[in-house]
Structure 1
Amino acid sequence: MRNALVVSCMNRAGYAGFRGDGLQEARPPDNATALPAGAWGYLGAEIAGVQGFHPPKRAVPAAAPAPPAGAGEAYDGARVDCDRQAAERIGAPPGPGADLLGRLFDDSIAATGQDPRVTAATGEWAACMAAAGFRADAPGTLPDRFRAGPEVTPAELATARADADCTTRSNLAGIWFGVLAGYQRQQIDRNSQALNAHREAVRAQDARLAGLLADAGSGPTP
């Protein structure tokens, strides 16, 4: 979004060849294994055997394109001005609802971790790991133990495979996410008015941003 607005602004400022100059849009993680383990245990036995607790290696980003011919003080000034205009047009996230969502999410995670169903499943997982020869009190301790090293080791792969197996045997992931969903449904019911207001604010912002993108796309082209 920001990139499209800056490109459109720079084109209007006379830099018809400007295509972003290294600006990158925010992108989601490459896949669900970017952070493969958490409080729920390891998800994905196939990845556990090759990746361990390390996130997948990402491709080295391409170098930013060189500034267009004639770039200089005027070009730099236009870039700064277009960045400012884009930030102003996008604006801040709508209302206090975003803070409420963050607080409710944090509360649901904390409640899930203390729930007797989750603590029992975590205990079963730990017993399974111990029987396999790996000592750990909870799945979340394993990434911290292994990710400090730059490369995946055979010991890490063996531990990750055991984690994946014990997560399945104890159904820790299924229990953890099921309990989390229950707490979050309760939060939705208790905060329905504020959450509905935030949803409408987000929809209104989405419509406004869609209009901005349409305006940016209708600008002059080289």
Structure 2
Amino acid sequence: MSDPANPATWKLPIEAYLVAKPEARLVGSSRDSVIAECMKNAGFPKWTPAPDLPVLGGKTETDWRYGIHDAAEAARHGYHPDPAEQEAYDHAMMAGAVDKSGADPKVLKSCAQSAGSTVPAVTPSPLVLQIKGDSFQASAQDPKVTAVFAQWSTCMKAKGYVYAKPMDANNDPRFNDGHKVTDLEIATAKADVACWAQFHVEKVWFDVETALQTRAIKANQAVLNEVQAANKDAVSKAKTVAAAR
């Protein structure tokens, strides 16, 4: 349920044509089980799929899309994700890069391809990604959004931080160390969140982007209906495989 005070719960129109993260994980695990069975039959019983990458940073499509928004998180981690999340992500990345089973890459490729007939892979369609990316870029240039950016910038300057627009603070090269959060970063992030909240930057930006996406979806409705149907088919097949385990 959407919470007006929490951007992480908001949903953009284009999300109707994406597979939700829980369902995407179900499709992935179902495909992995089909591939594993294929690999076992091919003589590679020790093959195991790479671990799923834990969520790092934003938990939904809109969480962190317009910048950080949680004052408590900003006070603890600045613009960085939770250190425990980062560690889990790094560990999964390393584990996924090492296959100790000795499996033949050609066999694995063949098994992955054959799994598609049982559970199709779900990847965002190029059109969906284009709409999602174009709407973000265009919304940032909209007069309503640039006006609230200016208010945010003035607010930040009054607190001692000079940035023209919100993403400039998030992308400040002084905060680029992936495993170190400085006092300056914490102070900047806290001021950032306070100024965003004061002028409702996220809501203004979200509303403008929602309108842009709605128009783009209407202009491409036929193709997007096919994308949505394919996504639903993949999820349905994944549920069938999961139920049979």
Given the two structures, how large is their TM-score scaled by the length of structure 2?
0.69
2:78 is aligned with 1:52: yes
Q: CA deviation at 1:210?
A: 4.3
The DSSP-based 3-state class of the residue aligned with 1:151 is coil
Gaps of 5+ in 1: 218-222
Higher alpha-carbon deviation: 108-117 or 81-90:
81-90
- For residue 229 of structure 2, the aligned residue among 197, 200, 206 is 200
Distance 2:99 2:231 in 1: 37
- For residue 104 of structure 1, the aligned residue among 131, 154, 161 is 131
Q: How big is each residue's C-alpha offset from its partner over 1:118-169, in whole Å with a ceiling of 9 and x where there is no partner?
A: 0010000000000011111111112221332341111110000000100001
Q: Is the 8 A contact 1:41 1:172 kept in 2?
A: no
The DSSP-based 3-state class of the residue aligned with 1:119 is helix
- For residue 158 of structure 1, the aligned residue among 173, 187, 192 is 187
Higher alpha-carbon deviation: 202-211 or 121-130:
202-211
AA partner of residue 148 (structure 1): N
Q: Let me know the Cα RMSD of the aligned residues.
A: 3.3
Q: Is the 8 A contact 1:41 1:167 kept in 2?
A: no
* Number of residue-to-residue matches in the alignment: 204
- For residue 123 of structure 1, the aligned residue among 133, 150, 153 is 150
Given the two structures, how large is their TM-score scaled by the length of structure 1?
0.75
Judging changes above 3 Å, is the alpha-carbon distance between structure 1 residues 188 and 66 closer, same or farther for their aligned structure 2 residues? closer
Distance 2:237 2:68 in 1: 40
2:176 is aligned with 1:148: yes
Distance 1:116 1:30 in 2: 29
Higher alpha-carbon deviation: 112-121 or 203-212:
203-212
Structure 2 match to 1:183:
212
Q: CA deviation at 1:25?
A: 3.3
Sequence identity of aligned pairs in percent? 25
AA partner of residue 116 (structure 2): I
AA partner of residue 116 (structure 1): P
Q: Is the 8 A contact 2:42 2:107 kept in 1?
A: no
Q: Is the 8 A contact 1:41 1:139 kept in 2?
A: yes
Q: Is the 8 A contact 2:75 2:190 kept in 1?
A: yes
1:26-41 pair list within 5 angstroms = 26-29=53-56, 32=59, 40-41=66-67
Structure 2 match to 1:168:
197
Q: Is the 8 A contact 2:35 2:115 kept in 1?
A: no
